[in-house]
Amino acid sequence: MADRISLLPDHIANQIAAGEVIQRPASAVKELLENAVDAGATEIKLFVNDAGKTLLQVVDNGAGMSETDARMAFERHATSKIKNIDDLFHIRTMGFRGEALASIAAVAQVELRTRRAEDEVGTCIEIENSLVKKQSPVASPAGTSICMKNLFFNVPARRNFLKSNTAELRHVVDEFIRVALAFPGIFFSLTSNGQQVFYLEAGNLKQRILQILGSNYNAKLVSVKEDTDYLNIYGFVGKPETAKKTRGDQYFFVNNRFIRSAYLNHAVMSAYQAMIGADAFPAYVLFIDLDPTQVDVNVHPTKQEIKFEDEKIIYAFVQAAVKHALAQFSITPTLDFELDASIQSLESVQKPFTQDKQAATKSGSIFQTFTEAAQAHRIESNRQWTIGNGQNESSGFVSLTKQLLQLDEAMSKQPAIEAAQLTTHDLSLTFSGFSQLFNTYVLASADDKFLLVHQQTAHERIIYEKLSSAIEGKAIATQRSLFPATVELTPADAVLLSSLLPDLQQLGYTVEPFGKTAFVVQGTPADVDAGNEKAALEKMLEQYKHFNLEAKLPKREMLLRTLAWQQAVKPGASLTEKEMETLMTDLFNCKQPSASPSGRPTYVEFRKEQLEKMFGR
């Protein structure tokens, strides 16, 4: 019987290996930028066309390569970083496994031009499908230029899995930002389809952060710096007011390498405890420098996940460093032990607490309820309560009241449910009255039932259906701004907003590009207050990114949900009876009145027989 096992041909083995390293254009961006940094470049330029699908080029002024090195660089596991096994555990450079260029050459058409400063002429190599097509001397500036064309031209199945140009460009921008933040002393630029997106002059870390995250952080950054024998931590964290709904502005670097670590992120979050909400995320750019032998960077193909020898020590150091920084700049809350003079002058404070008054207080029911039962909310079972018309009722009334009070928490924690699972109700209800509870719920009474409606989720459903109709049919009318507002965004947000402009136009927003990362808001829907256009647009983008992290939905669906959330009346808003009536009418004219766009219930129904059971009737 013939042998069945054989070695794979090199070009097939290379394509398989490339799948681990090069998953999309952004993967190649990361590898090529890191190679340029390792080459000692002081200027690195990135050019992309069609988000890197048709062209991706990195030009640097680094050390360059000899003719032999240029050819060897495309061989698998060819590296200048490791000579023996010991070197693997003392890695301080970015690339070291020698797979990047071999993987890129396996799935793209590559042209390399390189020259060392001491050489008179450079070398040009053209490679396609891992095969060298051409090698020749060429006149070129000192440094290296690598041009990658037609990514996945020979693996059409992989190419079909790439997202839209806008989505892929966002990944490219993310990788570019990570490398640029790690090396603020190097000039970086990014040009997309001939338009410059980033132009980052060399400077210090704070200047680089402001260049990338926006000048609005200028007075909102707190410096972190702690040096110990085990590790050094430095960088910046945002003041509590900079916290957002998304994690977008959070960066961790270990030995200048960007990493993802939920564990270390938790350390930072715990340092902000009681200063920001549970659903808020502070901005931070933090660097950890420690002995390479204490960390393994080779546990993940992209090297974004690493393993520490002692994670608990790192956690404690990070938490303490951020806490110390916030306390040092008087960000953390402090107790004020000085009594207000106006309180001290009150009659109840000034007068002596005599024996008679003490006895009278102790005999009171309020004092006894607290001291004897040891709980503030205790209600005695035999106590009779007088309500309305003077009739006595049992604690069933208290039970109902408690249930209503607990609904605020219960409905907020209600898991999202599919609309089909909700019970269908008679939509031809005639309501006899409306009232509002806690400025959050609308109580609507009918013949033999009443509905408790969450005003925000109900309004979200109404707006969502209105926007859905508009995006598929007649556009929503736009009110032109008398004084158009200009919004300056980060390059990443500018790319995102550009992709949303056609749909926003249909939904009543007239927004036009104004330079590289600025936009002019010429008009908004009628329900956006004049003068608030800029804040509305920024808030919309922030919420869109928040929804994008929670659920992977189509772009248009996420936009509809975002705008519905943004424009809906929020808890805490007081409604007139007319507004409550309109809300109920509009809700029950919806196709699906019982659930919000995300599947949360818009109302809870109480029937008369349920109430009678509560009262033991």
In a domain, 396, yes or no: no
What is the sign, positive or negative, of the torsion defined by CA atoms of 359, 363, 367, 368?
positive
CB burial class (10 A; 0-12, 13-18, 19+) of residue 479? middle
Give the residue from 200, 232, 255 where a domain finishes. Answer: 200
The separation between the first and the last C-alpha atoms of the chain, rounded to the nearest angstrom, is 87
What is the sign, positive or negative, of the torsion defined by CA atoms of 57, 58, 64, 65?
negative
| Distance in angstroms (rounded) separating the CA atoms of residues 91 and 93 | 6
In a domain, 389, yes or no: no
Give the residue from 328, 346, 377 where a domain finishes. Answer: 328
Most confident of 118-127, 362-371, 508-517: 118-127
Most confident of 44-53, 124-133, 261-270, 361-370: 44-53
Same domain, yes or no: 94 and 234 = no
Closest C-alpha to 27, from 178, 251, 188: 178
Q: Could you tell me which residues come within 8 angstroms of residue 380 by beta carbon, excluding any fewer than 6 positions away?
A: 369
* pLDDT mean over 483-506: 83
Count CA within 13 A, CB hemisphere, residue 389.
1
| Distance in angstroms (rounded) separating the CA atoms of residues 338 and 353 | 23
Same domain, yes or no: 154 and 173 = yes
Residue 45, helix vs strand vs coil: strand
> CATH number of the domain that 466 lies in?
3.30.1540.20
Please give the model's pTM, rounded to 2 decimal places. Answer: 0.65
Q: Percent of the chain scored above 90 by pLDDT?
A: 23
The pLDDT of residue 401 is above 70: no
> CATH number of the domain that 16 lies in?
3.30.565.10
For 215-232, letters b (16+ CB in 10 Å) and e give: eebeeebbebeeeeeebe
Report CA-CA distances (Å) from 94 to 79, 187, 504: 12, 17, 41
Residue type, 399: S
> CATH number of the domain that 245 lies in?
3.30.230.10
Same domain, yes or no: 480 and 449 = yes
Q: Could you tell me which residues come within 8 angstroms of residue 302 by beta carbon, excluding any fewer than 6 positions away?
A: 21, 27, 30
pLDDT of residue 385: 43
Contact 457, 601 (CB under 8 A): yes
Give the residue from 282, 305, 328 where a domain finishes. Answer: 328
What is the sign, positive or negative, of the torsion defined by CA atoms of 46, 50, 55, 56?
positive
pLDDT of residue 516: 76
CB burial class (10 A; 0-12, 13-18, 19+) of residue 434? buried
For 201-230, how does the pLDDT look when each residue is reduced to its tens digit (9 = 90+)? 999 999 999 988 888 888 889 999 999 888
pLDDT of residue 223: 93
CA–CA–CA angle 511, 513, 517 (5° rounding): 120
Same domain, yes or no: 457 and 560 = yes
Same domain, yes or no: 211 and 162 = no
* pLDDT mean over 410-421: 42
- Work out the number of other CB atoms within 10 angstroms of the CB of residue 305: 12
pLDDT of residue 77: 63
The pLDDT of residue 412 is above 70: no
Most confident of 70-79, 145-154, 510-519: 145-154
Same domain, yes or no: 136 and 269 = no
The boundaries of the domain holding residue 45 are 10-200
Same domain, yes or no: 445 and 517 = yes
Closest C-alpha to 126, from 142, 139, 115, 138: 138
Same domain, yes or no: 129 and 27 = yes
Same domain, yes or no: 117 and 175 = yes
Length of the chain: 617
The pLDDT of residue 570 is above 60: yes
Rg (CA), the chain: 32
In a domain, 277, yes or no: yes
Of all helices (H) and strands (E), which one includes residue 112? strand 109-115
pLDDT of residue 286: 95
Same domain, yes or no: 232 and 151 = no
At residue 393, what are phi and psi to the nearest 5 degrees?
-130, 155
pLDDT of residue 14: 67
Going by pLDDT thresholds of 50, 70 and 90, the confidence category of residue 393 is very low
Of residues 432 and 320, the one with the higher pLDDT is: 320
* pLDDT mean over 52-63: 94
Residue 372, helix vs strand vs coil: helix
Q: Percent of the chain scored above 70 by pLDDT?
A: 73
Going by pLDDT thresholds of 50, 70 and 90, the confidence category of residue 550 is low
Same domain, yes or no: 167 and 301 = no
Provide the number of structural domains found in the chain. 3
In a domain, 361, yes or no: no
Under DSSP, the state recorded for 140 is: -
Of residues 448 and 181, the one with the higher pLDDT is: 181
pLDDT of residue 366: 53
pLDDT of residue 29: 93
In a domain, 341, yes or no: no
Of residues 495 and 234, the one with the higher pLDDT is: 234
In a domain, 354, yes or no: no
For 436-489, how does the pLDDT look when each residue is reduced to its tens digit (9 = 90+)? 888 899 988 877 888 899 999 999 999 888 888 887 776 777 778 777 888 888
Tokens for 162? Answer: 């790439």
Same domain, yes or no: 192 and 210 = no
H, E, C per residue of 208-261: HHHHHHCHHHCCCEEEEEEECCCEEEEEEEECHHHCECCCCCEEEEECCEEECC
* pLDDT mean over 407-423: 42
In a domain, 407, yes or no: no
- Work out the number of other CB atoms within 10 angstroms of the CB of residue 111: 17
In a domain, 285, yes or no: yes
